[in-house]
Structure 1
Amino acid sequence: MTRVVVISGGLGTPSSTRVLGDDITARLRESLALRGEELEATVVELRELAHPIVDAMLTGFATGALADVLDAVGSADALVVVTPTFSASISGLVKSFFDILEKDAIVGMPVLMAATGGTERHSLMLDFAMRPLLSYLGALPVRTAIFAATSDFGGPGAASLASRVRTGADELADALTGGGRRIAQDRFVEFSALLGR
């Protein structure tokens, strides 16, 4: 059983961010099934945890449902992170969630990044805002990041979006089934150690 936590940062109901997360989860389930694996997906709507996230930032510890979510993230085999785009970056709610994660909670964990936004012009935020954050936290983002503009949902870009979803989900499935789940922490080298060589 492969455990994946889907972090959805959408603020509305319904949310295009959640729709994209559901599409990715469905394709990942199919992709893992082709490799003989079952998917256990836990979807986390950060909107429902907004107040506990702020409380955790102020007090330094999480309680209740948020603590359960943090435990699920720490024990997952992989993450799918889907955020709306605000001011050419990830949403503040998504950033705040990652700010309260325990140090090393997602080190060596494969992650599929995805985002929604009004137009394709915002798509670079995945590589200029989200990838550096996840890399800093020690996660291993897969190569393909998925951006969905408003026109991609049921419009002329729908086929292209479906192709990107398939590619990203297949890459995450490959990362999960090829040669181990997570990279051991001791395989990472501190930058200061590299400088000392």
Structure 2
Amino acid sequence: MTTLAVVSAGLGQPSSTRLLADRLAAATAEALHADTAVETIELRDHAHAMVDATLTGFSSGLLRAAVGTVVNADGLIAVTPVFNASYTGLFKTFFDVLDREALEGTPVLLGATGGTARHSLAIDYAMRPLFAYLRAGVVPTAVYAASEDWGSGETALPDRIARAGAELAALMEARPARVKDDPYENPVPFEQLLAGR
């Protein structure tokens, strides 16, 4: 069974960010030649826990499970709205909670939504450097969806989604199985962490 984690940083409910995330996941699952389990994480549901984790250095409860889902997935789709020409603070905070090596080699598809096409370069100037720092394997095609892309029959959005999903599927199928330990499955006891300081 292939696992695909989807991280959506949409703030509204419903949101165009989640809609794009769902469509990218569907395109990827369709292109994969294996049964695929898709697990979607809505970051807005973990906002308070993410702040706590940045202050304490520990993820707990549902956030810990969400982090484990992302870290152990065979592939990742990460989608954020664009505010002020970059990803949201909610999006950045989630990836700040992860260990730096947690996504090393993980195939990743990037997506973003915004009110105007003028912000489409936020993927290349903000998101790609973040995932390069995390050493993830980002597919060449990223998908940006502006307001005008939704509901218009003449848009190229479905073609971009299909191409990006196929690229992620190909990278996931070419990647060797993960063999690293899952730090979220067997956490270090709190007392041991304190003793190491």
TM-score of the pair, normalised by structure 1:
0.88
The answer as to 2:110 corresponding to 1:123 is: no
Alpha-carbon separation, structure 2, partners of 1:38 and 1:105: 24
Change (3 A) 1:73 1:179: closer
Alpha-carbon separation, structure 2, partners of 1:113 and 1:183: 24
Alpha-carbon separation, structure 1, partners of 2:175 and 2:76: 18
- Which amino acid is the alignment partner of residue 138 of structure 1? R
Residues 110 and 182 in structure 1, CA contact (< 8 A), matched pair in contact too: no
Q: Tell me the residue number matched to 1:7.
A: 7
Structure 1 position 102, deviation (Å): 1.6
Residues 108 and 182 in structure 1, CA contact (< 8 A), matched pair in contact too: no
Q: Tell me the residue number matched to 1:188.
A: none
Structure 1 position 25, deviation (Å): 1.0
Structure 1 position 183, deviation (Å): 9.7
Alpha-carbon separation, structure 1, partners of 2:179 and 2:157: 30
Alpha-carbon separation, structure 2, partners of 1:74 and 1:97: 12
Alpha-carbon separation, structure 1, partners of 2:72 and 2:78: 16
- Which amino acid is the alignment partner of residue 150 of structure 1? S
Residues 151 and 157 in structure 1, CA contact (< 8 A), matched pair in contact too: no
Q: Tell me the residue number matched to 2:172.
A: 176
- Which amino acid is the alignment partner of residue 92 of structure 1? G
The answer as to 2:136 corresponding to 1:139 is: yes
Alpha-carbon separation, structure 2, partners of 1:181 and 1:132: 25
**Which of 65, 76, 89 is matched with 2:73 structurally?**
76
Change (3 A) 1:152 1:103: same
Alpha-carbon separation, structure 2, partners of 1:182 and 1:109: 9
Alpha-carbon separation, structure 2, partners of 1:173 and 1:49: 28
Give the % identical residues. 47
Q: Which runs of 5+ in 1 are unaligned?
A: 185-197
Q: Deviations over 1:41-100 (max 9, x none)?
A: 100000010000001011110100000111111111111000000110011100000001
Q: Which runs of 5+ in 2 are unaligned?
A: 181-197
How is 1:81-92 mapped onto 2 (pairs within 5 angstroms)? 81-92=78-89
Alpha-carbon separation, structure 2, partners of 1:91 and 1:7: 13
How is 1:5-154 mapped onto 2 (pairs within 5 angstroms)? 5-32=5-32, 35=33, 37-154=34-151
Residues 4 and 42 in structure 1, CA contact (< 8 A), matched pair in contact too: yes
Alpha-carbon separation, structure 2, partners of 1:164 and 1:2: 23
Alpha-carbon separation, structure 1, partners of 2:154 and 2:11: 23
The answer as to 2:160 corresponding to 1:164 is: yes
SS in structure 2 at match of 1:27: helix
Aligned length: 180
RMSD: 1.4
